[in-house]
Amino acid sequence: MSEREVDQHLVMRAQQGDKQAFGLLVAKYQRRLARLLSRLIRDPVEIEDVAQETFIKAYRSLPNFRGDSAFYTWLYRIGINTAKNHLASSGRRAQASATFTVEDAESFEEAEQLRDTATPEGELMSKEIALTVNRAMEALPQELRSAVLLREIEGLSYEEIALMMNCPIGTVRSRIFRAREAIAAELKPLLNTDENRRW
């Protein structure tokens, strides 16, 4: 049985009133959802509150879940919308996490230069790159930031992101491209990248 089939089976049981089945879904996705939310919200207490609200909304909406997308895609979409609403109601906008690591930056093509961090210079360079990526992420409009986080950090497919963000796949591709270009522009001076080099 695939992961999606297992989830579908648990959803069907939960839709029939089996609260333990939904509890298994919560246990399975609680940490992944919190990790996603931590990219948008910094306060751990708020992350926990928004995650709990997300699962409550998901449970209430479970009768409407038809299985057109994977359960976690549907859940993440609810989570992102809940986080956006939470931030909007408190007059804030989503922020990128300050915990980007070298591994996050390694998704970029120039990352070979980041892998040898054994020297003090390498460690300093890694920290500077991580800070630069963080600043570039924070400067992105929320739609671009969400799209690139879902792709690069969560590893979701373009199709899954399109479902979660409720937009065409071409829009997702465009947002991710624009986000990568903006981040690359900030990293180019640090990595001495050729001005004409595409990322």
Q: Tell me what pLDDT residue 98 has.
A: 37
**How do residues 96-149 score in pLDDT, each as one tens digit?**
443 333 333 333 333 333 344 445 665 676 677 778 877 888 888 989 988 988
Question: Distance (Å, rounded) from C-alpha 69 to C-alpha 164?
Answer: 9
> Residues near 149 by Cβ (< 8 Å), separated by ≥ 6?
36, 39, 40, 96, 137
pTM of the model: 0.53
Provide the token pair at 67: 């299985």
> Residues near 17 by Cβ (< 8 Å), separated by ≥ 6?
none
For the chain, what is the mean pLDDT?
78
Ranking 13-17, 47-51, 135-139 by mean pLDDT, the lowest is 135-139
Output the CA angle 22-28-34, nearest 5 degrees: 105
Question: Distance (Å, rounded) from C-alpha 18 to C-alpha 184?
Answer: 48
Give all domains of the chain, ordered by start, each with its CATH number.
Answer: 3-89 (1.10.1740.10), 102-191 (1.10.10.10)
* Cβ atoms of residues 180 and 199 within 8 Å: yes
